[in-house]
Amino acid sequence: MTTTVLAAVRQFSQAKMGDDETGHGFDHIQRVVGLADRLVQAYPQADRVLTLTAAYLHDVIDEKLVTDTVAASDEVRQFLNQQGLTAEQVATVFLIMDNMSYHKTLDGTAKPLPLEGQIVQDADRLDAIGAIGIARAIYFGGHFGEKIYDPAVKPRAAMTHAEYRNLNNETIINHFYEKLLTLKDLMNTTAAKKLAEHRQQVMLDFLAEYKAEWNAEA
């Protein structure tokens, strides 16, 4: 695989994700790619171009973003074949895309990821936390009409996939406790774990300040 292929993958991703309004747009994709490229430097045994290909495409077939995942998958597979990827490389990209989502962790169906997939998963999770993560959570919640906060609505625990996708009576602030604050300890790579420490504290500081202001204590 070459950088020429990577340029084509970038263009394909931008065409698919450029109009997203849920916080998973091409700006998110670019940050994930940037983080993956940063992380992969610490792991020379990983295939950089394959890693970045998966990073560019990781949301293109996501069930929460596309109505027909089968058709989306077929289109991605045809595109990768046209770029000259081997059957093994295509299979690896799909292994990563199909098994890196958080909901796979909830229902226990995730297959083990290769190092390239672990890096992409870490990069995606890093973009879900910290200051960017705060902004994306509010943006996503607003898009789906969630309440910002209701102290009477407690965070859910031990959710199934179906429960996780059910946004009825969900609040944006609860999403931090239900998912975002758990991501730091789910990082695969040492490099990502180090980056996650600061982003975790940013979220904790935000939540403390938010609740203090909510209660007129600050």
> For residue 155, what is the domain's CATH number?
1.10.3210.50
Query: Averaged over 84-102, what is the pLDDT?
Result: 95
**Contact partners, residue 58, CB within 8 Å, separation at least 6:** 29, 32, 96, 97, 100, 120, 124
CA distance 194 to 47: 22
Rama region for 130: left / alpha / beta (φ>0; ψ in -120 to 50; rest): left
- pTM (predicted TM-score): 0.93
Q: How many domains does the chain have?
A: 1
Q: What percent of the chain has pLDDT over 70?
A: 98
- pLDDT, residue 52, reads 97
Burial of 36 (0-12, 13-18, 19+ CB in 10 A): buried
Residue 161: which domain range?
A: 3-214
Give the C-alpha separation, 178 to 159, whole Å.
Answer: 9
Residue 152's SS3 state is: coil
Contact yes or no for 159/97 (Cβ under 8 A): no
Q: Is the pLDDT of residue 196 over 80?
A: yes
pLDDT the model gives residue 1: 63
Instruction: Dump pLDDT digits (tens) for 21-47.
Output: 676 789 999 999 999 999 999 999 999
Residue 164 has pLDDT above 80, yes or no: no
